[in-house]
Structure 1
Amino acid sequence: MQFAYEANAWGGVVGTPGAVTDLKSGFYETPGNVHRTLELIAEAGYTGIELFDGNLLPFESSIEEFVAAVAAQGLEVAGVYSGGHFVYPDAHEDELARFDRSIRLAASAGARHYVIGGGSIRSSGRRDEDFKVAGGFLDSLVERAQAAGLIASYHPHLGSLAQTPEQIDALFAATSIGLCADVAHIAAGGGDPEAVIRRYADRLAYVHLKDLDATSQAFMPLGEGDLDLTGIIDAVVAAGYDDWITVELDGYTGDQSAAAARSLRFLQAGKLA
């Protein structure tokens, strides 16, 4: 397996402000210097990077500059992350316009995986039909991503339509998209990451690894929290998965570069590298 690191460790996530009034302009992005982030990820020993689609916008007319910067650090683009609302049919046209742009950016940057998070929660709460509407929309994104040469997957996420195990099941019953198993988000949402991976072994398309402090719900470097990462990794291997594993550590208050290096050592000690 190959190991990548998520660029959001250095800066977190914000959104492009135009999305308040223009849905098709809304992208996730991590503030900061992407070139420095590439250096830090390479220095920590990783060979891949994942980043938000919004961080590719400055390179939209000169993507070769970004591709060259990635290659200069000995890295590959393992994945690009995007997200959306999905549950509002009247907004699908504008959402698709943004996703088409996002997919073009990801493909031109040389990404392998296209990760999709989100699914809005209405002010009145989730509705049963939201899972069906979102599932159909995700299927359309799978087709678009595949046509661009990308592997699409859905990332269950805290604060999104599919957070708990029951919600994940409801969404995955309505779509054919693959699973991006972010083990800490699954656990924080009340699930057993190993059980979810085994349940959807035939749909496991991508993996996000980070540890979790069960008491504070804070994300932690690998091996420094409460998750049974050995069991989780065993489930990933048993599923036949042999692709990029991306380590992520957004929101960590310690030294991010040191944490990235420690997480890689944890994986190497487990004989995955």
Structure 2
Amino acid sequence: MIKDRVAGAPISWGVCEVPGWGHQLAPARVLAEMRDLGLAATEFGPPGFLPAGAAERAALLAGHGLRAVGGFAPVVLHDPDRDPLPDVRRILAGFGVERSNERLTLVLAAVHGLDGYDERLVLDPAGWAALLGNLDRIAAAAAAAGVRAVLHPHAGTMVERSDEVRRVLDGSGIPLCLDTGHLLIGGTDPGDLAARAPGRIAHVHLKDVDAGLAEAVRAGATPYTDAVRDGIYRPLGAGDIDIAGIIGSLEGAGYDGWYVLEQDMIIDAEPAAGAGPAADVRACVDFLAGIPA
């Protein structure tokens, strides 16, 4: 049903921008395994994973039979004294839209400015005003550059909990990245959001989740990074989220964007060929193939 719109993300292979996030696999291996698993495209991954030059990046992806989706951008959006647009424009310039036949997506995370995603901060009214205003400014700047910007509600960021997601929906026009796992961790039912606001969903990250570990993160009993190591993210169909139901709801509402297999992973050493993260991604691909058209 959606095979040609299933993409990968380097974080599913443990490649992450957070310092000390574990062993980082080489791009050649990750891209080759994406290709061999039948994925159609990939997000860019953290800075330095793919070539910074648009032409070199496009050639590398094409050599592995992959298309470009766009990339994840952790940006401080809530500081009234800090304009995020210069940084965002530099990121957009690196997308090389003029060299791409794709509609690329800028996946924003409203980070707090500290390393990692283990801290939980709460915005004051001035912070909310800055964040909501910046979201609309960035969406407009991205559109002018030929890129679609979305906000990714994400554990350990300024938009994590269900009330914060609602505040973004009510107070800005930016579409969302529906990340099934991060939404559940923050207390939002991703299936309910997909059904309630399909017109605001412009990008999808598919994760399945151990609901018990998600609750431990939400309650502050387990840091996010520890939960990732403990296996909070499960292959699709092996956790507590109705992935098939969410896809069916989105497809029924006319969603025609990417489904990115984006399940945060930490590895400590180079796995054997075909083992490690690739085995989990293979299980996800097989699960999606079994969803009736």
Q: Secondary structure of the equivalent of 1:91?
A: coil
CA separation of 1:252 and 1:44: change in aligned 2, threshold 3 A: farther
Q: Within 1, Cα distance between the matches of 2:250 and 2:121?
A: 36
Structure 1 runs (4+) greater than 6 angstroms displaced: 121-124
Q: Counterpart amino acid of 1:115?
A: V
Q: Secondary structure of the equivalent of 1:177?
A: coil
Q: Within 1, Cα distance between the matches of 2:72 and 2:120?
A: 25
Q: Identify which of 7, 11, 15 aligns with 1:8.
A: 11
CA contact (8 A) 1:86 1:134 kept: yes
Q: Secondary structure of the equivalent of 2:265?
A: coil
Q: Identify which of 89, 114, 118 aligns with 2:106.
A: 114
Corresponding residue number in structure 2 for 1:76? 67
Corresponding residue number in structure 1 for 2:80? 89
Deviations along 1:106-157, one digit per CA (max 9) or x if unpaired, are: 2447362111112438987321332221111011111121122111111000
Q: Within 1, Cα distance between the matches of 2:287 and 2:173?
A: 33
CA contact (8 A) 1:6 1:246 kept: yes
Q: Within 2, Cα distance between the matches of 1:225 and 1:148?
A: 38
CA contact (8 A) 1:70 1:77 kept: yes
Q: Secondary structure of the equivalent of 1:257?
A: helix
Q: Secondary structure of the equivalent of 1:207?
A: strand
Matches within 5 A, 1:178-217: 178-217=175-214
CA separation of 1:173 and 1:132: change in aligned 2, threshold 3 A: farther
Unaligned regions of 5+ residues in structure 2, if any?
Answer: 114-118, 215-231, 268-274
Deviations along 1:152-184, one digit per CA (max 9) or x if unpaired, are: 111000111111111101122221111110011
Report the alpha carbon displacement of residue 188 of structure 1 after superposing the two structures with TM. 1.1
Q: How many residues align?
A: 257
Q: Within 2, Cα distance between the matches of 1:84 and 1:230?
A: 31
Q: Counterpart amino acid of 2:34?
A: I
Q: Within 1, Cα distance between the matches of 2:121 and 2:258?
A: 38
CA separation of 1:50 and 1:16: change in aligned 2, threshold 3 A: same
Corresponding residue number in structure 1 for 2:48? 55
Report the alpha carbon displacement of residue 239 of structure 1 after superposing the two structures with TM. 2.4
Q: Identify which of 233, 243, 251 aligns with 1:219.
A: 233
Q: Counterpart amino acid of 2:93?
A: R
Q: Within 1, Cα distance between the matches of 2:291 and 2:156?
A: 32
Q: Secondary structure of the equivalent of 1:173?
A: helix
Q: Within 1, Cα distance between the matches of 2:134 and 2:48?
A: 24
Corresponding residue number in structure 2 for 1:102? 91
Unaligned regions of 5+ residues in structure 1, if any?
Answer: 18-29
Q: Within 2, Cα distance between the matches of 1:151 and 1:89?
A: 24
Q: Within 1, Cα distance between the matches of 2:121 and 2:60?
A: 45
Corresponding residue number in structure 2 for 1:33? 26
CA contact (8 A) 2:80 2:126 kept: no
CA separation of 1:165 and 1:195: change in aligned 2, threshold 3 A: same
Report the alpha carbon displacement of residue 31 of structure 1 after superposing the two structures with TM. 4.3
Q: TM-score, normalised by structure 1?
A: 0.85
Identical columns (%): 27
Q: Within 2, Cα distance between the matches of 1:40 and 1:75?
A: 11
CA separation of 1:16 and 1:256: change in aligned 2, threshold 3 A: closer
Q: Within 1, Cα distance between the matches of 2:121 and 2:237?
A: 39
Q: Within 2, Cα distance between the matches of 1:81 and 1:244?
A: 14
CA contact (8 A) 2:178 2:205 kept: yes
Deviations along 1:3-61, one digit per CA (max 9) or x if unpaired, are: 001111223422589xxxxxxxxxxxx944223221111111101101235136x733x
Q: TM-score, normalised by structure 2?
A: 0.80
Q: Secondary structure of the equivalent of 1:206?
A: strand
Name which of structure 1's ranges 181-190 and 114-123 shifts more when overlaid on structure 2. 114-123
CA contact (8 A) 2:194 2:250 kept: yes
Corresponding residue number in structure 2 for 1:25? none
